Structure 1
Amino acid sequence: MPKTPRVGTAGWSIPAAQADRFPVEGSHLQRYSQRLPAVEINSSFYRPHRASTYKRWAASVPPDFRFAVKISKEVTHTRRLANTAEPLARFLEEVRLLGPKLGPLLIQLPPSLVFHQDLVADFLRYLRTSFAGDLACEPRHPSWFTDEVDAVLVEHRIARVAADPAPVPRAAEPGGWQALNYFRLHGSPRMYYSPYPQAFLDRLRHRLSSLNVEVWCIFDNTAEGAATHDALAVKTETVCPGVGVSPGLPGPAA
């Protein structure tokens, strides 16, 4: 049977337009976690968080709630995967405080980062010796979207994100390790702003619900609050009848 997708947003802010769809009492995270089963922590990309912060977040949510966490930009953007032992160890020590509520780690790479076999293999090998959980990688340079790169990701059990908008056509489909499918929807045609049309969301909901693997779907079109609406529209435990299934994301949003 297909597994229930984990649908959520990047961050857990609750826009005023959607506030009546959430409980009234509690912090934003507590209220959010009563309606959506997962969230992606993006603030970890910009700065470290205190141990007490991760512990508080973990204690604020139901037992089956999960956090994906974006790896620090010191690792991915400043050091560009080279000489990362110290900042990576610090980051992993922090996020482990989420305990059993820790979901995948997200490795988002800068658009200028070209795939270099030795550099990437060394980084992933070291990361895998330090972290055994789920990993998802969102590369954005065209050199990453080949069978050879997918083979490297499979070797290290790393899923390649299916992204919208996709920097190249292949980026719209999940790649790499297929036991995890991780979808990131940034808003289209205007990234971070545009809401998705209902027909797109309906097709996406059916697509996600039909997959018999671990599925994450994160809406990152948060700038004007569209992500919350779109995530609630997609969150479901059943396949919608009468809607066709496509192999990747459900075509242009517009």
Structure 2
Amino acid sequence: MQDSLFPELAEADLPAAARPAAKPTARARKPAAGVVAASVPDELPALAARLPAHVRIGSSSWSYPGWAGFVWDGAYDASVLAKRGLEAYARHPLLRTVSIDRNFYQPLAVADYARYAAQVPPHFRFVAKAPSLVTDATVRGEDGRGTASNPHFLDPELAVQGFVQPALEGLGEHCGALVFQLSPLPARWLVDLPRLHARLDAMLGALPSLRPQAPDGIIAVEVRDAALLTPEFAALLRRHGATYCLGVHAKLPPLEAQLPLLRALWPGPLVCRWNYHRRHGAYGYEEAERVYAPFDRLRDADPDTRAALARVMAGTAAAGQKVYVTISNKAEGSAPLSAFALAQAFDEAMAARAAGR
């Protein structure tokens, strides 16, 4: 299948409209030079102008040198991009959100969030992941293996004081979706779902309303265990005004199999994290990292997932509900190029709806 926006290349290649006119210099720019946004072709601002304001597509983090030519104007060191790249990223007309994933590993302070908020335009919204200290039932070593039970798992006070309140205070109106991603659960939790639901119920019930400070704010819960995708889980989320974060990940059923949970929460917003290509299996994250680096092209195009997600986005947006979709480099090989292609697929899905197709 050819992308009509990028007609001269197949989907598995780097889209021509996003490709730099000349190969960026391999020499990293000096930090003092700052980060300059790449020029974008006429097609992308025109496409962005057709997207509803309440639809936001972006990436997971932003510190990738391989995005030179279609997000950055040239080559920059990753450390420079981590500190100074957000402002340039947020200038891109199609990239209206980004996930703050580093918070998962180390809780951020109000000042950290505020520094991010100061670098983006008024329309930009952030997706932030809750710290693993709250969402992982297991304490893990540096190798990722569990070492002990986590006594703070789904702790209400820690969820509020260590995540929601700092994010609200620091991001303000730029606060979009706050995502509690439950890491893969030990068997003792999966065989006692009522116990898990009770703990999750207590935590969600303790969270403050986001609306006074963040009118576009949404609380979402993402999982890594298909056993949690039950009517009881949906009812629990609905009770607290939260939503399910659609997770496109090899550890979960395909997107279409997760949609009944969203239907049980309808009407409501869409929060989706397109994490990971299924071809690598449930435990192939490092393989995907190796195969896709430096994340400068679509190496494993997934048009079926893209089309399915675009249809869900279109149905949600047409009903006036907010849409947040963040995409990892491990989804197809390059998060911003996936975002550009998804925006086009969404545009086509909206046009089809308008035409009654």
Residue 6 of structure 1 corresponds to 56
Residue 149 of structure 1 corresponds to 233
For 1:94 and 1:2, how far apart are their aligned partners in 2? 29
For 2:334 and 2:184, how far apart are their aligned partners in 1? 24
Give the total of aligned pairs: 244
Shift of 1:219: 0.9
Structure 1 length normalisation: TM-score? 0.80
Shift of 1:183: 1.6
Q: List alignment gaps of at least 5 residues for structure 1.
A: 246-254
Residue 175 of structure 2 corresponds to 102
Shift of 1:207: 4.0
Q: Does 1:231 align with 2:339?
A: yes
* Identity over aligned pairs, percent: 25
Distance change >3 Å, CA 152–CA 232, structure 1 → 2:
same
| Aligned AA (1:29) | L
CA deviations on 1:35-57 (whole Å, 9 max, x unpaired) are 20001111001002233221111
Matched residue SS, 1:47: coil
For 2:171 and 2:177, how far apart are their aligned partners in 1? 12
Higher helix proportion: 2
Higher RCO by CA contacts (8 Å cutoff, separation 6 or greater): 1
| Aligned AA (2:88) | R
| Aligned AA (1:41) | I
Moved more, 64-73 or 22-31: 22-31
Contact 1:46–1:72 (CA under 8 A) maintained in structure 2? yes
Shift of 1:151: 1.2
Bigger radius of gyration: 2
1:92 to 161, 164, 167: 164
Residue 144 of structure 2 corresponds to none
1:60 to 105, 119, 122: 119
Matched residue SS, 1:131: coil
Matches within 5 A, 1:10-49: 10-16=60-66, 18-22=67-71, 24=73, 27-35=84-92, 36-49=95-108
Shift of 1:233: 1.9
Matched residue SS, 2:107: coil
Alpha-carbon RMSD across the aligned residues, in angstroms, is: 3.3
Distance change >3 Å, CA 60–CA 182, structure 1 → 2:
same
Q: List alignment gaps of at least 5 residues for structure 2.
A: 1-50, 75-80, 137-149, 211-217, 293-297
Matches within 5 A, 1:45-194: 45-77=104-136, 78-79=150-151, 81-86=153-158, 88-96=160-168, 97-112=170-185, 113-114=189-190, 116-133=193-210, 134-165=218-249, 167-169=252-254, 172-173=258-259, 175=262, 177-178=265-266, 179-188=268-277, 189-190=279-280, 193=288
| Aligned AA (2:90) | S
For 1:171 and 1:81, how far apart are their aligned partners in 2? 28
Distance change >3 Å, CA 223–CA 164, structure 1 → 2:
closer
Distance change >3 Å, CA 177–CA 125, structure 1 → 2:
farther
Contact 1:81–1:119 (CA under 8 A) maintained in structure 2? no
Contact 2:156–2:202 (CA under 8 A) maintained in structure 1? no
Shift of 1:244: 7.5
Residue 324 of structure 2 corresponds to 216
Distance change >3 Å, CA 137–CA 119, structure 1 → 2:
same
Contact 1:2–1:210 (CA under 8 A) maintained in structure 2? no
Distance change >3 Å, CA 243–CA 49, structure 1 → 2:
same
For 1:208 and 1:242, how far apart are their aligned partners in 2? 9
